[in-house]
Each structure stands twice: as C-alpha cells, then as structure tokens.
Chain A
Amino acid sequence: MNRPTIIAKLVEILGPLSEERVPVIGEDTQLTGDLELDSLKIMEMLTDAEDAFDISIPINEVSDVKTVGDLADVIQKIGTNA
C-alpha cells in the first residue's frame, strides 16, 4: 500500500477522535500535540489502524511516532515486511 493511501485511511480513522481540534488533518498533524489524543485514544486509534490494514503494530515501533506521517511510515514498513 502506498503512503498517500495510508495517510488517507489514517485521516479517516482520526476524524471521529479529533473532535475538530484542527481544521484539516494531514501528514504533519501531531497526534498528541495538535489532536490532544491521550494514551487511551492513541491505543484505540492504533487498534483501528491495525484492523484497517490487517497488520499488528508492535508497541516498540510507536514510541517515536509524533505525527500522522510518522505513523504512516511505520505502517508502510510493517506492510512491506509482511
């Protein structure tokens, strides 16, 4: 799956969780900074993403994730290795 498609899907997943804190969600949007997602919401979002992409995202891989683009990179890497 290519990166733009992954980002589009993540934007779709993040929509209901973001409570309209930013006008547009994009690859530079910060998950905790801009969207103010707490650790529980992050977990919920990751589980939704795992289902959407049919992958498992190891928790070691997400500690450095700050933006939607960072997460898309992780998903693309896992998808490529799968």
Chain B
Amino acid sequence: MKQNPRLQAVQAVREELAKIGIDPFGVQIDRIVSPTEGIIQGRPTILAGTNNYLGMTFDESCIAAARSALETQGTGTTGSRMANGSYASHRDLERDLARFYGKRDAIVFSTGYQANLGMISALTGPGDTVMIDADSHASIYDGCRLSGATTIRFRHNDAADLAKRLHRLRDDAANAVIVLEGVYSMLGDRAPLREFVDVKLKYGATLVVDEAHSMGVLGEKGRGLAEEQGVLDDIDYVVGTFSKSLGNTGGFCVGNSANMDLLRYASRPYVFTASLAPATIAATRQALRVLEGASDRRQRLQENAERLHAGLSARGFRLGAAPNAVVAVLVGDKLEALRFWDHLLKNGVYVNLMVPPATPGNESLLRCSVSAAHTPKQIDSICDAFASWTGSHA
C-alpha cells in the first residue's frame, strides 16, 4: 500500500504506545451506567473525564422530551437546514437560547466545533484580522484557517498584550475580531473578561467569547463567566456547546447583531452539514430549562470541585488553576503521565490524558472534569486513586 507521509507522525505515536501497551486515545466505555459511572475493561469505573458538568445526560425530563420527539418527528432530518428545510423546533431552540442570554437572536450549529468554525469564518475573511488567545481551542485555530483572515495570537489571558497588538493595527483595530474562551479546557483557568472588555471597548473591536466550559457552570442562571463577571452585555457574540452542561451534542452562537440571519447563510459549516436530529433538539431545549433553574446543581458542582481540588492539593499534587469544574493535575513528563493515567484507569477512575503540544507550558496533564452528579464518596475515591500512584511509585 502507498505510504501517506502525512500519517507517518500519527503512525509513529501509535507504534510507540503499542510498545508500551497503553492506548489512552481509544478508550471504550462498554456500558454506561449513570452520568458518573461506566464499565471500562470489565471494571466499574468512575467517569471523571466526560465534561458532564451538570450530570444532564440521564435527566428524566430530557430523556422524556427526546423520546417524544423521536416518536413524533422521526430519527433524523436527513439534510441541511438551508437546502432541505428547518424543523420548527430548530428555530424554537434558537429563540430559547436568545431569550436565555438576553440577546437578539441565535444560530444553532450541528456541533460546538462547527459553531466556532462557522462564526469566525462568517465574521471574517481575507484582509480582516482575528486576534486569538495563544491557548485557544483547535476549533478557534481551525475557524481562523477557514476564514483566511490574518490571525494574530496574543499571550494567554493577557489583556495588556492584546491591547499592544490592537494598537499596532492603528485604524484597522476597530475592524478586528477578538476571540476568547471563558474557561480554558486544559487547565480550567478563567479569562479576565472585564479587562478584555475594557480593551475591546477602547479600540471598538468585535468580541466573541466561547463559553463551552463555563455555560451551566458559572453565573447565577448558568450563563457562564460573562454573567458571573457582569459583562454579558458587552460581548458581541457568545459561542457555546450542547455537549457539556446540556448533556447532548450541537453548538450555538447568540448575538445582538442585526446581521445574525446573514451570518447564518454566510457560514459554510452551517450550510453544508446535516441539521440536528429532532430528539437532540427536544432534549436540549428541555436541558436548557433545567439548566436555568439548576442553581442547586451548580452549588453541588462547585462543592465537588472544591473537594477534589482540596483533596489532591493535600496529597501534594500540582494543580492547574483555582477550583473549577476542570481540575488539571500537572505531571510534567509524557511517559510518566501515560503510566499514571493507565494506573488510574486500572483503579477504576477515568480521566483525560493531555500531552504537549495540546497543553500549555510543555506539561503533560491528567485532566479531571467534575460533575454535579458525583457523590462526595466518588470524589474521595478519585483522590485516593491519585494518591495510590504516589504510593506505588515511591
């Protein structure tokens, strides 16, 4: 068979992992038991790497909504909304999201990845400038590539560095689009949104904030870091996902622009893909209703995050950020992180292994995502599993 040189680097990594006998990228959950438990490699396993922040995947009211839509509207839409038509429920969900955020309108995408791709590439093109945080998610980098805009990185969470770079653009600064994340997925650290909003207002630029890891988690109503920091009105576009706190799949953007409907049709990732299935839309609409009033779940999530953070700190682990739904343990060496990850899995705890260059600062990470559905006992078991590595490794 002809060798594809582009796949050789992937093949080399696969062979290296095969020699060690650990495959962190092919984990199969043989049976899902609850939002926080599954059977992996024949063992009952605590799921602490699934971004199921509010434990919404097994919410009875969401399941009932999905079941009803499935039975009355069928399994799928079989096409794109522009070419093959929207269902009324797609538009209903967009109105729900716009109301939830207090914005003029919303656009629903088929994944969160496509939401970033679609918005960045619709808002900008060749000759425009996009300013992105150096630690941005791949979907933001890929959106910039698709747009063909001039893409300038600024130092992670550094509003002064962004201001310096906008200043260099002179008169073009007002046309720039700034893209941030509320909470960064690797370390769980928060953006200083107020500082960034001040810079955006000073230069008159457009601000897009991806709240994928903060929607449902932060803010009184769960509207994310922007709500918590009181800057939601100053953000032009909020991007988010249904695949974390809402327990489903899909993505969205809300905004106050009068051009929202034009952006929709200028967005290739919106136009050239199949729309979300009716059951997904129905469950997401219901999950949004639950999320809005789920201050008790947010409270439990925060308590769990603090318990995990404190437990791991007390056992001497270095952590990536203050207590949050993402708690990242900094391991350093890639091979040690791989063996540590495998040790946790064999001891009934599933977390995410993250290695450079996907991680900041050349550090390998064991990334835990905390859920409101975790029990305190499960959180303690996660801490104990981490501690047992220290013990077995000493």
Known: A40-B362, A43-B134. A60 touches B168 (CB 8 A): no
Bin chain A's interface residue count: 10 to 19
A53 to chain B, nearest CB (A): 11
Are B152 and A40 in contact (CB-based, < 8 A)? Answer: no
B370 to chain A, nearest CB (A): 28
Question: Which of A43, A54, A56 lies in contact with B152, CB distance below 8 A?
Answer: A56
User: Which A residue sits closest to B153, measured CB to CB?
Assistant: A59
Are B150 and A47 in contact (CB-based, < 8 A)? Answer: no
In whole angstroms, how far apart are the Cα atoms of A59 and B145 in the complex?
10
B134 surroundings in chain A (CB, below 8 A) = 43
Binding site for A on B (CB under 8 A): 129, 134, 144, 150-153, 155, 165, 168-169, 356-357, 362
A to B contact number (C-beta, < 8 Å): 27
A80 to chain B, nearest CB (A): 14
In whole angstroms, how far apart are the Cα atoms of A43 and B359 in the complex?
13
22 of the cross-chain contacts (CB-CB < 8 Å) are: A38-B356, A38-B357, A39-B357, A40-B356, A40-B357, A40-B362, A43-B134, A47-B155, A54-B168, A55-B168, A56-B165, A57-B152, A58-B129, A58-B150, A58-B151, A59-B144, A59-B151, A59-B152, A59-B153, A60-B150, A60-B151, A82-B168
A60 surroundings in chain B (CB, below 8 A) = 150-151
Give 5 closest A-B pairs by Cβ, nearest first.
Answer: A58-B150, A56-B152, A39-B357, A56-B165, A59-B151
User: Which B residue sits closest to A43, measured CB to CB?
Assistant: B134
Residue of A43, A60, A82 contacting most chain B CB atoms (<10 Å): A60
In whole angstroms, how far apart are the Cα atoms of A40 and B135 in the complex?
11
Binding site for B on A (CB under 8 A): 38-40, 43, 47, 54-60, 82
In whole angstroms, how far apart are the Cα atoms of A39 and B129 in the complex?
23
A73 to chain B, nearest CB (A): 17
| Besides A56-B152, A59-B144, 13 other A-B contacts (C-beta < 8 A) | A39-B357, A40-B356, A40-B357, A40-B362, A47-B155, A54-B168, A56-B169, A58-B129, A58-B151, A58-B152, A59-B152, A59-B153, A82-B168
In whole angstroms, how far apart are the Cα atoms of A60 and B357 in the complex?
19
A57 surroundings in chain B (CB, below 8 A) = 152
B151 surroundings in chain A (CB, below 8 A) = 58-60
User: Which A residue sits closest to B141, measured CB to CB?
Assistant: A59
User: Which A residue sits closest to B170, measured CB to CB?
Assistant: A82
A58 surroundings in chain B (CB, below 8 A) = 129, 150-152
A82 surroundings in chain B (CB, below 8 A) = 168
B200 to chain A, nearest CB (A): 17
User: Which A residue sits closest to B129, measured CB to CB?
Assistant: A58
User: Which B residue sits closest to A58, measured CB to CB?
Assistant: B150
B361 to chain A, nearest CB (A): 8
In whole angstroms, how far apart are the Cα atoms of A68 and B153 in the complex?
21
B362 surroundings in chain A (CB, below 8 A) = 40
A60 to chain B, nearest CB (A): 6
A54 surroundings in chain B (CB, below 8 A) = 168
B144 surroundings in chain A (CB, below 8 A) = 59
A35 to chain B, nearest CB (A): 16
User: Which A residue sits closest to B361, measured CB to CB?
Assistant: A40
B155 surroundings in chain A (CB, below 8 A) = 47
In whole angstroms, how far apart are the Cα atoms of A58 and B362 in the complex?
22
In whole angstroms, how far apart are the Cα atoms of A72 and B394 in the complex?
49
